[in-house]
Structures are given as structure tokens and as C-alpha cells.
Structure 1
Amino acid sequence: MSEPMLELSGIVRTFEQAGTELQVLRGAELTVRAGELVALVGPSGAGKSTLLHIAGLLERPTAGTVRIAGTDVSKLDDGKRTEVRRRSIGFVYQFHHLLPEFSALENIVLPQMINRVPKRTAKARAMELLRMVGLEPRASHRPARLSGGEQQRVAIARALANAPSLLIADEPTGNLDPHTADGVFAMLTAIVRQARVGALIATHNLDLAQRMDRVLEMRDGLLVEHTPVPTLPEGADPAHL
């Protein structure tokens, strides 16, 4: 079994609201392993974004433990959390958030330079990632000259620029048409497998979710694992199975 890239243990998150305490997460447990894609589903307001923010070290839990690639990061100060986030976590959102004044290549180079990678090394890594997502010929193009699917491929490449242990994606194909979404998801899956990244992906697309390794539903502040529905052989009668 591959090593865990993300471990959440006993995650509780409460908020003060109009003088009362609102408990959004109440003991959530989660493990994502290297090369694994885990889907996070549930209705709006169920706590998916809160869980993603805690997993990505953008928010602290009220209680519980967060481990990234085996390291307990729960008690780190803000500076150390930022360092871990920059080095070990990649983020992909529904909207690509590429910097419009920079080329595809430069958008992937910048996070590496922030991480103190030499420019020449960063450019070589960026070109390698553009090849992986099939966009090497578009390296010099700014986002406005790329299609929606191409922009999201660049965003995925950017998220992987610093070779993170964990990829967190929030509706990464939600802004794309079904055909483009399928292509982007297939490419994302291939990269996760190849790079041995752990991927936690929130989505409302249940068809997409069921193509991942596991599907977890946020329900009443806890994570409940879905049992895959078996595919019946052609012509089979369910009553006789």
C-alpha cells in the first residue's frame, strides 16, 4: 500500500454565528495516498470547502490533526504552514486564476521562483509540465489566447510546478463543457498516477466522481465512503444476482 500524502484525524471546525456555535465538521477522518484520486461530494453548505481549506492549510481546525506526507503540521506557526503549503501542496480551482499578463510558461515558472528555484531550472520544469499536459506549442501564449480547457491544463501544470505531495482541487472541471471536462480529467488522472501525487477533488459531477478511486460524501459534518455500484454483465437480471 502506498504512503499517505494527507491524513486528517478527528477534524472539528466550529464557527461563532449570531452568538451561537455552529459545528460544520465534527470529527472528520480522511486519508489520501500517493497516486490516489479521492472524490469529495456533498450538497452546497455541507462543509466541503471548509474541509479543503483545512487540508490545504488555509484554515485551522478547531480540533484534530493534519498530516502532510507523514508530517504533523497541526501545531506549526503561520510562517511554517505557508512554507509547507508552498512546497508540498498544489491547488486547482474551478476558475483557472492564471495571471493574464504572463504567458503559459511564465505562469508555471513564477510559483517556482517564489519557492527560490533558479530561473533556468524553473523554465525547464515548466516546459516539462507543458509537455505533460499537451501544451508545449502554446508555451508563449497568454491566457486570453487559450481555450477554457487549455487554461485549466495550464492551471493544473502550475499546481504541480513545485512537485507537491498533495493536490487539492475544487470543482476543477466545473467551468468546462462535458467533452472538455472529460479530457482535462483524463489528463489530470494520468499526471496524478505518474507523479504519485495524492489528489483530493471536490466535485458536483457524480459521473466524474465515480471514475476516481474512492468517493467520500460530506454528511452531517462527517465523511462517509460510498460503496461503488457494481456494473452488471450485459443482459443480466439483478434479481438473480
Structure 2
Amino acid sequence: MADTVLRLTGIHRSFTQVESPLHVLRGVDAAIRAGEMVALVGPSGAGKSTLLHIAGLLEPADKGGIEIAGVKADGLSDKERTAIRRDKIGFVYQFHHLLPEFTAEENITIPQMLAGVPRAKARDRARELLGLVGLSARAGHRPAKLSGGEQQRVAIARALANRPRLLIADEPTGNLDMHTAENVFALFADLVRGQGPGGAKLGALVATHNLDLARRMDRIVEMRDGVLVGG
């Protein structure tokens, strides 16, 4: 599949319980292309978060293949997996997880510096991204001085800081009111589809309970009995 940014093949994941293993993922297959938003739905406890963690290389699968932007990630060392997460994957969560003691600009600058980008260049990129999400005037504000929607927009900008190919989002609008959620989703969609400045297309896997938003994405896949169906 051309320009596939995420490919999962036969992903299995189980957790040990007292009486018997709990099989959460039972052979998940998925592929996401650049410019495509895929909604991941399913009831609580179905394994959505586990799948996101595996797709984002935050935890290993028991079995199966993982490919991120053409790089096979299964079987790599922790250091190699960390490098792929840093360089190719951006994360957006329901709660923004911004560093409270740092400004919006600094929250976007720091991940770049951790990746080896010089401070001045990282700062310029942070200012560019804050402009992209409409927050240039709020660059010097700490998270406590930002609204919920502004905090989430900073979190999206931070996720883009190292120019990832894949975005992993877990309920990115779940903590926002309806109007703010609509604005954040529209921004997120524009960025994924390459409609913002720069025009680079990303792939996105978005877990959500909001079926209205899910229907506006390119595909919906449902976690059911440990596999993905639909889409």
C-alpha cells in the first residue's frame, strides 16, 4: 500500500491473571496511509488503549509485526524503539499533559531539544507551530493561564514538533465542551490531511467514543473480540 505510515500484522497481546491469561488482542491487522484519519471505536475494556500503546511503541506485542513509516519496529531494542517514537510518532491524549512550569513555547521546544535540535532552531519551530494552531499571542503563557481548548491546541502543536509521520490520539477532544471540541477536531483534521502550512500529510489513528466525530473521519474500525472489524 503506497505511503503507508502504520502497518500492524497479526498483533497479539495477553495479560496474566490469577486463573488464566486475558487475551486482549487476538491477531489485529491494520494499515493507515498518509493523509488518512482512522477512528478506533469500541466499548471500554475492549483493548483500544492497548492497541494504541502497541502502535505507538509504548509497549511490546506478544506476537506480530509493526511497521512505522516503512521501518520494521518489532524486535528492535528499547533504544531503537525510543528513536522511532521520537522521530516518527506524535501523541495526543485526552488530557494534554503539558509541563505546567513551562510556557506554551517551551513545551514545544523541549521535545525538539531532546531530539538534538539546537535551541534557537527548536524555538523557531515552536513559534511556527503556535502560529499554525492560532496561538502565537499565547506563546509566553503557562498552561494554567490557557483555556482547555488552548491547552489541547498546544498539545497538538507539541505532537508535531519533531515532524512525525504518524499521530496516535486517545480521545483528543474528550475533555472539551462541544464547541471547543469541534474547533480542535477541525484543526486536527486539517493538519493530518496536509491542509495547513507546509502541507505534509500525516496518518492518524484516533480512539474516540464520540461517534459523530468518528463518522467524519475517513474510516471507522471497531475493536471487537480482540480484532479490528470494519473500515
Q: TM-score, normalised by structure 2?
A: 0.96
Q: Secondary structure at the match of 1:20?
A: coil
CA distance in 1, matches of 2:104, 2:227: 39
Deviation for aligned residue 1:207: 0.2
**2:126 is the counterpart of 1:126:** yes
Task: Indicate yes or no: 2:213 matched with 1:213.
Answer: no
Sequence identity, in percent? 65
Aligned to 1:146: 146
Instruction: Give the structure 1 partner of residue 175 of structure 2.
Output: 175
Q: Which residue of 1 aligns with 2:94?
A: 94
Q: What are the superposed Cα offsets for residues 57-89 of structure 1, whole Å, 9 maximum, x if unpaired? A: 011111100000011110101111111111111
Residue 77 of structure 2: aligned partner? 77
In the other structure, the counterpart of 1:202 is: 207
Q: Which amino acid aligns with 1:201?
A: V
Query: Which residue of 2 is the match for residue 31 of structure 1?
Result: 31
- Contact 1:92/1:155, CA 8 A, preserved across alignment: yes
Provide the residue aligned with 1:111 in structure 2: 111
Structure 1 outlier segments of 4+, above 4 Å: none
Amino acid at match of 1:68: I
Q: Distance in 1 between matches of 2:80 and 2:9?
A: 20
What amino acid is aligned across from residue 224 of structure 1 in structure 2?
Answer: V
Where 2:75 maps in the other structure, the secondary structure is coil
1:2 shift after superposition: 4.5
Query: Which amino acid letter does the alignment assign opposite residue 95 of structure 1?
Result: F
Instruction: Tell me the distance in 1 between the aligned counterparts of 2:2 and 2:208.
Output: 24
TM-score (norm 1): 0.92
Match for residue 21 of structure 2? 21
Tell me the secondary structure at the aligned position of residue 127 of structure 2. helix
Report the AA paired with residue 32 of structure 2: V
Q: Distance in 2 between matches of 1:159 and 1:23?
A: 31
* C-alpha distance in 2 between matches for 1:133 and 1:192: 13
Q: Secondary structure at the match of 1:164?
A: coil
Provide the rounded CA distance (Å) in 2 between the counterparts of 1:140 and 1:193.
Answer: 29
- Give the RMSD, CA atoms, in angstroms: 0.9
C-alpha separation in 2, matches of 1:61 and 1:146: 37
Amino acid across the alignment from 1:43:
P
Structure 1 or 2, whichever has the larger Rg, is: 1
Residues 37 and 200 of structure 1 are in contact (CA less than 8 Å); yes or no, is this contact kept in structure 2? yes
Superposed counterparts of 1:37-52, under 5 Å:
37-52=37-52
Indicate the residue corresponding to 2:197 in structure 1. Answer: none
Q: Which runs of 5+ in 2 are unaligned?
A: 195-199
| Cα drift, residue 19 of structure 1 | 3.7
